[in-house]
Structure formats: structure tokens, C-alpha cells
Structure 1
Amino acid sequence: MPEPLSRESTTTSVVLLATTPASRLYCAEGTLLDRVGGQLATLPVLDVQVVSADGGLVAGLRNIAKIVRVAPGAVAVLPADLVAHTEALAMLLEHPARDTAALVSHDADSGPPHPPVRVEGGKIVAAGSSFHLVPAANATFRGVLQTGESGLSALADVAEELAELVEEGKLGPVTEVEAADLLLVGLVRSGVAVRATGLGPLHAGRVTGQGAADTALTRLAEVDEAQVRLDTAVKQDDGFFATYLVSTWTRHLIKPAARLKLTPNAVTGISLALALLAAVWFSAGTPGGRLTGAALFYLSFALDCLDGQLARYTRTFSPLGAWADGLSDRFKEYAVYVGLAVGFAGPDIWYLAVATMILQVVRHAIQYAYAGTVADAGRVGTPWGRPARSLMESEDAGRAPGVLGLAQRIERDTVARWLKKIVVLPIGERTALIAVTAAGWNARVTFLSLLCWGGVAALYQLAGRIARSAK
């Protein structure tokens, strides 16, 4: 299922920080600076501007601000002393959203030159440097930061403010090594949403000496980048049913679909056609018809997962595709409801069918209205949106009290997290519920099951939204 992304720009400019002696370390391509430049040449970047060590950190930050002010699209900042898989860079620079994001590794081994960060809900909510501490850190920043077009003004302002603070000695003994780290700190503290792009099994790290560089380059050869790209195409935070009963086999269809040049939108269309066929078979009302309809509906959902996997593998997200996918999900589900109701002889079945549709509309309103409101609040800077924090402030522990604290603890427990995903009755679990109850019993059982489970899920979601709104 493609993720709803806003395509901010089709171009990305790169600022390459050749500000440390390590950027001139030797490798097969010449120097590490040459190596990173060669990698960028294979990626869709508009241009690469190299910032040297002349003038120190203050001059470097001001140069970055000047470049950002005139950039036509997204800007990526990365150090030239970086040893990374090309696929790791591509995960950021080839992402069609061209949004604000940073490469992180979910490990606890923080320290120069990999400062700690705290990631919550796929976003970096706290970032560190030698001056800025991060309590409860759960990942490390790997030096690569991309800022989307909407965040460029904030990045330029942050770079200039940091240059002033460094010049006045207010950030302690920070050095040129920390330029990207400080920019990330500034963006997070200014309220810009920074997506955390996890490396997974890929490697990306900065080095400080020839021995470390040689070791890091050797580690790169131990990983199959093509296999990692395939693995990361499968959504990591999907529901239980989608993860264990669908994606385990649809992942094997990704490469064949790509070779056949199928687009994600084409797969979405096939998924829609199968759901409509399922509705027709359900409308027959016979045991065989319900069984066939259940199988077709399951296959429809499998293709619904495949279209997102194909989009991530080929990196061909689009706003149209995301909108069409979301719309087709609703249409397919409601078409199946109609088919089940038509195939059932009971007089009150339509009341149950309509009630089930209304419940799903309410649940989606609870989910998406809240997300949209939070996004709007963050843009206009309302008090309950994420507030901007001074670069001189200390970081709090980031632990929420009460219900939110309990929710955070649940996220850290694997079993509890899966139970929570099941309780909210996502589309995968709804598909399974519809297919099993329709094939094994009848439409009345299907609608009553959806109403009972969906009602519990709606109350759970509502309680969570109220708790977060009241924090």
C-alpha cells in the first residue's frame, strides 16, 4: 500500500562537507571525497557543492546557509569522510518525497562521530551533539541529512544562528566535524519534522583514520545491497496479518512485477478488479460463492500490499497513486459489504451493512482528522503543536506521563505492540475477519463481528487521540 507522500520537488542539491582531514583518506577510488562524489554521480542529484575547511566551522555554516537560500529544491548535507553503501544514500536521495529526513542506525553505540538521537513514531524528536545531550536515546545519526523544500528557510536560519553561537563560544568546543550534527539538532529543535530513515543491515558511518576507513570499506562488501533493497520494500511496521500471512509470499512477486514493468497503479487496478469479483461471488449467497469470494478478497488484499512493495522497490511513489490506493481500499471494502448483503436473505441485513459502513467512516475520520490537525498545528506553531526549542536549552527525558507513558512502554514490548496492532483492526485484520466469517458462516456473522471488534477499536483510537490532544 503506497504511503501518502507529498512530492515537494524533483531535484536535490548536495552540500558535501570536506571539512575534516579524514575526507582525504585513501581508498580504491582515490580519496574518500572522490568516493562519495562518485556515489553521488549515480544518484538523482541536481548538483554537488563542496564546502572546504577554510574559515572553520563558522564559515562552513554560513556557506551552507548561503547555498540553501538559493537552492531550487531539497538540499542534502553529508560529510566527505563518510563510508556508506550507495543504497543507503539512495534511500534518502532517491525517495520521491524529497522530504526532510536523516539517516540513522538503531543502535546504542553513540559517540563521536555518531551522535545520539531519539526516534519516536518514525520521526527524530531529539538530536544530540557534543553540547546537546539526548536522554533516552535509541539511535545514532550517521551524518546524512536531507531537508525538503518546505524546510529550507528553517535550515538556513538554523545554520546562521549556529554560526553566531559558535562564534560567540556559547556551544562549547564544537568543531568542524559536527556541522551536520548541529544542523540536525537545530532543525529538530525548530519544530521541523525530520523523518528517520533507518539503515537496517546497510552501513553508513564516518571515519577518523586510515585503519578505520579500511575496516569500514571491508564491511561494505559483506552486505548484498540488492537483497537489502528488496527486503526494505516490504513494510516493516505493517499489521500482523499483512506481515505474517501476506508479505511472506508477495515479496517474491516484487522483482517479477518490476521486470514486467508493472506500475504500482496497475497493481492497484488489478486489486480493485479482484475485490469487485469477490463482491459478485458473495452476492450469490451460496456456500461455494462465499468461499470463492473470500479467496478473491484475500488475493485482492495481497495485491494491495504488493502495490506498496513495488512502489518502495522502484521508488515510484506519487500523490496520485497514494490517493487512488486509499480510495480503492474504501471502495473495495464497501463493495464487498454490498455483495454480502445482497447474497443474504435476512430482512435486517441492510441495517447491519449500513451500520458497519458508518462505523468504518467514523474510524477513518478519527484517524485522519487528528493527523491532519497535528500537521496543521505544527505548521502554524500553535501552542499544542511541537514547540520550537532554543539551541541553548537542555533536552528533557522525553517520557510522557499517564496514558501516553503507557503507550510508549507498549511500543517497546514486542508482544504488546503486536496486540495493539491487532486490536485497532487495520485493513489486513478486517480482510481476514471478512473472509473467514463469510466463508465459514454468513453475512450476518460478518457484520456483527465487524461491528463488535470495530466498536472496540474505535473506542481505543478515540481514547488515544484524546490523551494525546490533552498532553
Structure 2
Amino acid sequence: MPDSLTRDTTTTSVVLLATTPACRFSCADGTLLDRISDQLAVLPVRDVQVVTAGSGLGADLRGVAKIARTTSGAVAVLPADLVAHTEALALLLEHPAHDTAALVAHDAAAGPMRPPVRVEGGKIVAAGSSFHVVPEANATFRGVLQAGEADLASLADLAEELAELADRGELGPVTPVEAVDLLLVGLVRSGVAVRAAGIGPLHADRVTGQSAADAAVTRLADVDEARVRLDTSVKEDDGFFATFLVSTWTRHLVRPAVRLKLSPNTVTGVSVGLALLSAVWFSAGTQGGRLAGAALLYLSFALDCLDGQLARYARTFSPLGAWADGMSDRLKEYAVYIGLAFGFADPGIWYLAVTATILQVVRHALQYAYAGAATDAARIGSMWGRPARSLLESQDARHAPGVLGFAQRMERDTIARWLKKIIVLPIGERTALIAVTAAGWNARVTFLALLCWGGVAALYQLAGRIARSAQ
């Protein structure tokens, strides 16, 4: 039976599965159930509903389904036999998106309490249990699953379907220990997009014995949670220039910015101001002006990285903030184009400036229009389509064919992955290209470089979109 422990008025509820004997193991805070309850008390969750041991796996899953059908907002499901850093739980429960996601570790071997998953592009594309096998697994699930509000109906339907299959013995010798594992398998196989929230060096381990519980609790002290939070504020999949020539030092400004109570929007505003000053210096048309403009443009981009790091550290980012940040990037870039054109003596430079602007508009359209279409297609597919894979198939044998498979193999190679990031000429590389060519040569060289490299990037993007759409 579920018991409700009211917290505050945020949008996430927690279903705590206290259905295994391990949740009663002792620790310094009482039992493991007491420990995780205390952790949830300091996190922004609306309520915690504890599901105690029922009549087996089927009853436990039906309890989850009942809660999912009667709750609004996101619902997180986790076992009470989990020993985890509070920061690891916060990766899901404090994430402003309140989306469907699961905690995963990328550097540990699969085991009975660490079912395998395959992660591609930040999403879990295959998940396993003692019944479901995952070929080419590259991560493990660590027991914490969250369903966004839009996916609650899917979660409830899947929980009920799994309960029926478990009661009839059609899932093999699965036990209540695997309830949350099976829910993840169901969501992934039904086509729901599940974000992979990597725990990095943090720990999140389910335990089956008292000695294992003691060891897991002791191991938590080996990690500085505050340091990990700072490290994870740096965007993991950023471009080469941002990763190695900007974020290496802007990360040290995050905590001072928090102490000064600077909001990400404030930092974005300063970044825009520096870019506009850069455009003014570029418009002077002198060597000194171009050098000053290049320096200010670099600092503007550094603050653009810092505002994202600050938002991730404070977990205050939002869709509106992401949109405003993207719009400010466009404003800054096009203002710099205008400044460079004004500072060049030949009026013909405006043709190059306008062409470079049009090319960037087309590239952004390719990127964001495709992303929006892919999201809509996935949403329609999950709402109206048949499940991607049957829950009764013990092996997930999906393999990406053709060009898409080649692209995924490239992602596993570090050098190839960085080369791909550079080829597409993201905002960091464009900033560096503008700053170097403007400071070292002139506006004509800058625009020609943007057109040549940007043209190659556009063709690369277009080919990739066509190849992915054709698969």
C-alpha cells in the first residue's frame, strides 16, 4: 500500500519502492529506507509515496500504475535499497525540464542490480533486465527513473501490461527487485524518449546484503559532491573551441557568480553588450580596432559559455532561457558582420556580408527545423504507433544500418568525434574564425572563410539529415 509524505508544491512526485528486504538494512541514518527518505526531504519533490511489499512483482507494478494515473506532474520511481549521492538524485529531481529520464553510469560493468542499457545521442535506445538482453550495451541503469507528465499514461499502461505478464510467468524468473528495471525497458521499447542522465563519478548502487550496504555507504565519502556539481555544469558535448579554450577557465567563475547572485540572464546581457562593443571596434576599420574587436568577441563568447554553466550549476535553465540565449547568439553574430562590413573600405564587402548572413540563416533552419520535425515525429509515433519492440522479446537486436550506423561508430572514436564537431562549424568555431581572421587579416578574408567553411558545414549537415531521414 502506498503511504504519502507531503513535501512542497513543486512538480515532481516520487514513488519509493520499499518492496525488498534490503531497504531495511541498517546504516548510520537508521535504515536504507530512512536514509533515502531523508535525502528526498531536502530535494524539491512534491510528495513521496512509499509502496511497501505486496503480493509480488505484479502487485508492485500495479501500485506504480495507480499512482501514475492519479498524479499530475512528473513522477520519479526509485527503490529504497538504493545507496546514492544526493547530487545523483538531484540530477533528475532538480532538473527543471521534469522530463522522462533515467540515471545511468557509463563506466561500470552490468550486473544483477545494474542492468545494461545502450545510450546513443544522450538517449537510452535499449534497456535490459534479467529477461531482456541488450547487445552492444555501453552503460548501466542505476535504479532511478523519472517519467515526464506527458508520459505518465504510457508509464501506467506499461506497468499494468508488465504486471499481467509477470503474473502469468511470461517474463521468466523476474522478481520485485526488477520492477523499476522493467519499467525502463517498457518505456524504451514503446518508443518513449528517455534522456540518459549520466552520474559521472557519483555513486548510485542498489544493494542486496548488509556488508554491501556498509561498503556502498562508505564509498560515498570518496567523492566531493560539490566538485562534481561544478564539473557537470560544463557542457559535456560542447564544441572543440569551447571545451578546450574557453570552459577550461570560465568554470572557475561559476561559484563567484553564484556568490554575487548573478543570474544567467544577467551574464547573457553582458555578453551581448561586449559583442556590440566588438562590432563598434570592428567598424573602425583599423588594425587596432580589429584587434580590440577580436578580443571583445572572444570575451563575449566566454560569457556566453558562462551563462549556460551558471544555469546548469544553479539548475535554473528553462526553454525560454535557452531560446533567449540562442536569439542573443544570432544578434551578436550578425551585429559583428555589420561592424566588419562598415569597417571595410570596399562597398562590395556588403555582398559577402549578406551572403554569409543568408548562409547562417539556412544552416540554422536546417538544424532547428529538422530537430523540431524529429521531435514531432517521435511524439506522434509514441502516441499513435505500435510499440517499437515487444516486451516478450528477450533480446533487443536493433542495429543502426548504413550511414547512421557509420555515424554512430564515429561517435565512439574520440578523434573522429572531435573532427565532426569542428567540421560543422558551431558557434565557438565561428567565433574563433571571425576573431583570428579579422585580427590577422581583414573583413574580406573573414567573410570568405565563413562562406567556404560554412558551405562545407551546410552540405555535411544536409547530407546527414537526408541519411538519417532515409533510415
TM interval, shorter chain, is: over 0.9
- Structure 1 position 54, deviation (Å): 1.7
- Structure 1 position 393, deviation (Å): 2.5
Q: Residue 278 of structure 1 aligns with which residue?
A: 278
| Correspondence 1:177-188 to 2 at 5 A | 177-188=177-188
Matching of residue 405 in structure 1 with residue 405 in structure 2: yes
- Give the percent of matched residue pairs that are identical in Structure 1 and Structure 2: 80
SS at match of 2:222: coil
Alpha-carbon RMSD: 1.5
Q: Residue 132 of structure 2 aligns with which residue?
A: 132
Gaps of 5+ in 2: 1-8
CA contact (8 A) 1:374 1:385 kept: no
Q: Residue 50 of structure 1 aligns with which residue?
A: 50
Matching of residue 378 in structure 1 with residue 382 in structure 2: no
- Structure 1 position 387, deviation (Å): 5.7
Kindly provide the CA deviation profile for residues 237-272 of structure 1, in whole angstroms up to 9, marking residues without a partner as x. Answer: 100000000000000100000000000011000000
Q: Residue 151 of structure 1 aligns with which residue?
A: 151
Q: Residue 117 of structure 1 aligns with which residue?
A: 117
Looking at structure 2, the residues matched to 146 and 377 of structure 1 have their Cα atoms a distance apart, in angstroms, of 22
Gaps of 5+ in 1: 1-8
**Kindly tell me: are residues 381 and 216 of structure 1, through their superposed partners in 2, closer, same or farther at Cα, counting changes over 3 Å?**
same
Q: Structure 2 counterpart of 1:277, which letter? A: L
**Kindly tell me: are residues 369 and 18 of structure 1, through their superposed partners in 2, closer, same or farther at Cα, counting changes over 3 Å?**
same
TM-score w.r.t. structure 2 length?
0.96
Q: Residue 429 of structure 2 aligns with which residue?
A: 429
Q: Residue 225 of structure 1 aligns with which residue?
A: 225
- Structure 1 position 394, deviation (Å): 4.2
CA contact (8 A) 1:15 1:51 kept: yes
CA contact (8 A) 1:378 1:386 kept: no
CA contact (8 A) 1:378 1:385 kept: no
- Structure 1 position 383, deviation (Å): 12
SS at match of 2:197: strand
Q: Residue 293 of structure 2 aligns with which residue?
A: 293
- Structure 1 position 53, deviation (Å): 1.2
Larger deviation, residues 244-253 vs 390-399 = 390-399
Matching of residue 164 in structure 1 with residue 153 in structure 2: no
Kindly provide the CA deviation profile for residues 258-317 of structure 1, in whole angstroms up to 9, marking residues without a partner as x. Answer: 000000011000000000000000000000000000000000000000000000000001
Kindly provide the CA deviation profile for residues 111-160 of structure 1, in whole angstroms up to 9, marking residues without a partner as x. Answer: 21110000000000000001111000000000000111011010000000
CA contact (8 A) 2:16 2:48 kept: yes
Q: Structure 1 counterpart of 2:406, which letter? A: L
Q: Residue 216 of structure 1 aligns with which residue?
A: 216
SS at match of 2:146: strand
Larger deviation, residues 379-388 vs 98-107 = 379-388
CA contact (8 A) 2:188 2:194 kept: yes
Kindly provide the CA deviation profile for residues 340-363 of structure 1, in whole angstroms up to 9, marking residues without a partner as x. Answer: 000001131000000000000111
- Structure 1 position 384, deviation (Å): 12
**Kindly tell me: are residues 223 and 383 of structure 1, through their superposed partners in 2, closer, same or farther at Cα, counting changes over 3 Å?**
closer
SS at match of 1:14: strand
Looking at structure 2, the residues matched to 385 and 308 of structure 1 have their Cα atoms a distance apart, in angstroms, of 36
Looking at structure 1, the residues matched to 41 and 10 of structure 2 have their Cα atoms a distance apart, in angstroms, of 16
- Structure 1 position 35, deviation (Å): 0.2
**Kindly tell me: are residues 454 and 333 of structure 1, through their superposed partners in 2, closer, same or farther at Cα, counting changes over 3 Å?**
same
**Kindly tell me: are residues 179 and 383 of structure 1, through their superposed partners in 2, closer, same or farther at Cα, counting changes over 3 Å?**
closer
Task: Count how many residue pairs are aligned between Structure 1 and Structure 2.
Answer: 463
Looking at structure 1, the residues matched to 327 and 140 of structure 2 have their Cα atoms a distance apart, in angstroms, of 37
Q: Which has the higher contact order (CA 8 A, sep 6+)?
A: 1
Looking at structure 2, the residues matched to 283 and 116 of structure 1 have their Cα atoms a distance apart, in angstroms, of 56
TM-score w.r.t. structure 1 length?
0.96
- Structure 1 position 468, deviation (Å): 0.3
